[in-house]
């Protein structure tokens, strides 16, 4: 299917575990983004990528790692999950900046 | 201990009425603005955008107004329908300061009464 997909859609993990959230887009957009959404904070940028092998930090990068070996994939890894990382995570892509970003359906992550 | 959740601003309108959702932005250098709609359990969906060299832009049933003097953005929805019920976010971009990244507002919840 064309578009942007995220997996898993729901994840429960324990504190200290490593978790990887996947994001895949079929448009060959250059830019990809990871956001977290928490009540009272809106959408906050974690990391973004301008192209394969080019990534940069956003507003809240601590505790997260990203990679982008292929244009279409942009996985987000929580190296040692903490309860404060319980959130809904959205991946987005954009053909260029600062134009509109297309969002995936989100991953709801709960860290116990 | 028990946490107190922060509540989004809420706008309640009657079906068929016009809705106006407001947004104050923070950076006078912002040159691009965008509105997103987010339905429950889904990702944000693009509605309309506007560049700073414009005051008004119209789409299908939606109009965005930009007042740079007071750093204010509004989204007008004509003939509001139950399907318009969602949270609406404005976002701004200042290429000079943010490297092209969008900064999102907190959102406004629109509730449409049938």
Domain A23-111 part of CATH 2.60.40.10: yes
pLDDT at A1: 58
Q: Name chain B contacts of A39, Cβ cutoff 8 Å.
A: 5-6
For residue A67, pLDDT over 60 is answered with yes
Average pLDDT of the segment spanning A90-109: 90
d(CA A7, CA A5): 7
Average pLDDT of the segment spanning A11-35: 96
* B24 confidence band (pLDDT: 50, 70, 90): very high
**Domains of chain B and CATH, by start:** 14-75 (2.60.40.10)
Taking alpha carbons only, the member of A26, A31, A19, A27 closest to residue A86 is: A19
Q: Do B44 and A104 touch (CB under 8 A)?
A: no
Interface of A with B in 27-56 (CB under 8 A): 33, 39-45, 48, 56
pLDDT at A72: 96
pLDDT at A42: 83
For residue B4, pLDDT over 50 is answered with no
Tell me whether B102 touches chain A (CB under 8 Å): yes
Taking alpha carbons only, the member of B80, B85, B90, B87 closest to residue B109 is: B87
Q: Name chain A contacts of B31, Cβ cutoff 8 Å.
A: 98
Neighbours of B111 (CB within 10 A): 14
d(CA A52, CA A29): 10
Q: Taking all residues of chain B, what is their mean pLDDT, rounded to a whole number?
A: 88
Domain boundaries, chain A: 23-111
Whether A110 contacts A13, CB under 8 Å: yes
For residue A70, pLDDT over 90 is answered with yes
pLDDT at B90: 94
* B28 confidence band (pLDDT: 50, 70, 90): confident
pLDDT at B95: 64
* B6 confidence band (pLDDT: 50, 70, 90): low
* Helix, strand, coil shares, percent, chain A, to 5: 5, 55, 45
Assign residue A92 a region (left: φ > 0; alpha: ψ between -120 and 50; beta: otherwise): beta
């Amino acid at each position: 299917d064309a578009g942007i997909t995220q997996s898993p859609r729901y994840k429960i993990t324990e504190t200290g575990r490593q978790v990887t959230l996947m994001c895949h887009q079929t448009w060959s957009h250059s830019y990809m983004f990871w956001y977290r959404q928490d009540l009272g904070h809106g959408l906050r940028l974690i990391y973004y990528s301008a192209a394969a092998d080019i990534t940069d930090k956003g507003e809240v990068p601590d505790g997260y790692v990203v990679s982008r070996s292929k244009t279409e994939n942009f996985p987000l890894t929580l190296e040692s999950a903490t309860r404060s990382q319980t959130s809904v995570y959205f991946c987005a892509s954009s053909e260029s900046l600062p134009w509109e970003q297309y969002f995936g359906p989100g991953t709801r992550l709960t860290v116990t | 201990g028990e946490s107190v959740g922060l509540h989004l601003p809420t706008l309640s309108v009657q079906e068929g009425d016009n809705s106006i959702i407001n947004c104050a932005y923070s950076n006078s250098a912002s040159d691009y603005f965008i509105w997103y709609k987010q339905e429950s359990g889904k990702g944000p969906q693009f509605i309309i955008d506007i560049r700073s060299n414009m005051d008004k832009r119209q789409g299908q049933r939606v109009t965005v107004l930009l007042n740079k003097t007071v750093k204010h953005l509004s989204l007008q929805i004509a003939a509001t329908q139950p399907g318009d019920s969602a949270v609406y976010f404005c976002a701004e971009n200042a290429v000079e300061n943010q490297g092209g990244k969008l900064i999102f507002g907190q959102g406004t919840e629109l509730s449409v009464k049938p």
